[in-house]
Structure 1
Amino acid sequence: MGVREAEEFYAPIKERLAEKIKGKLLKEIRSSLESSLDFKLPQGIEEGIAEELKVYKAEHEFNKIIKFISGIDSREVSEEEKKKEVREKCLALVYQGENAIMKIRKVLGETNPKEAAPGTVRKDFGLDIIKNGAHASDSSLSAEREMKIIQIEKDDISEIVERHYGRI
């Protein structure tokens, strides 16, 4: 998956990242600043600081995801380079049927491998919340959007299989 595809594919999580990060920042800011500055902060000041910082921290975390998925740091390449086709491919499996999304998400486990049940893909193969072993859409709308981005109608796998194993 190229940089441009990865940015588009994971764009919806950027805002959710910011909100999750804000909660973590709120917990850290008061204690960190009070110990560093050696005085008590006014009540509620951490709310404004967290609100400002969440955007930068979310962008940083988002860029880590894009780099992991594409192999390229999106901050270090031009817009033209982001559009280039990449050699690395991802394998997308499309599950259909009643409750398909719920069923596959159960097989994969929680997004965070540390919270996933034993025997799930993410528990057994995931390393952390970014390198978690697999992706599954969270809704049919997300699935439709994601399939368009990765151009699911293209059959890239046949060419790869034939190159390595011959015509089947």
Structure 2
Amino acid sequence: MMSNIEEEIQKAQEERDEERRKHFQLLDQLEAEKVEENSKLQLALTARDAALSESQMVGREIGKLQQQLKSTNAALEDQVPWNDIQLVLDQAHGDLVSTTTRFWNTVDALQNKRLASYLPGSGFIHADWPEQGGVATQGHDFPLGFSESNVPLLDQQEPSAIKQNGSLEG
């Protein structure tokens, strides 16, 4: 009988040793999982801290940009929009072109009038034009029937100073 009891004890000890071994394996496995989970937790905490730090930095940057925007808006408050300026500039340009055109037309008319005074039959007496038959005094040109005060004071140029295209050289 002893042998049966001894066998049962032996069997019970083996079962107990097997259970212990399984529990130790389970305990080792749980310990490994705990280390792995702690490692994941550390990574998550580090990532959270980095995200929090970056969030604070972005918040400060947003604050700075909002301040710059307010400052810029305050500076631009009294500024005129480009579209309004462009309309005024276009109008001023048109006026300037018109005035310049009138100026040069007036200059051309005065030059043409002056150049025409060198032609025979213009009402001026020229000593070098014998066909006019008038008498010139001291190289001056006098309009017929006009006093000297009516003659415009223009820069006197000789007919030889006329370019081929009809404008004055100068």
Q: Report the TM range for the smaller structure's normalisation.
A: under 0.3
Q: Computing the radius of gyration over CA atoms, which structure comes out larger, 1 or 2?
A: 2
What is the TM-score with the length of structure 1 in the denominator?
0.21
Could you say which structure has the higher helix fraction? 2
Identify the structure with bigger relative contact order (alpha carbons < 8 Å, sequence gap 6+).
Answer: 1
TM (normalized to structure 2)? 0.21
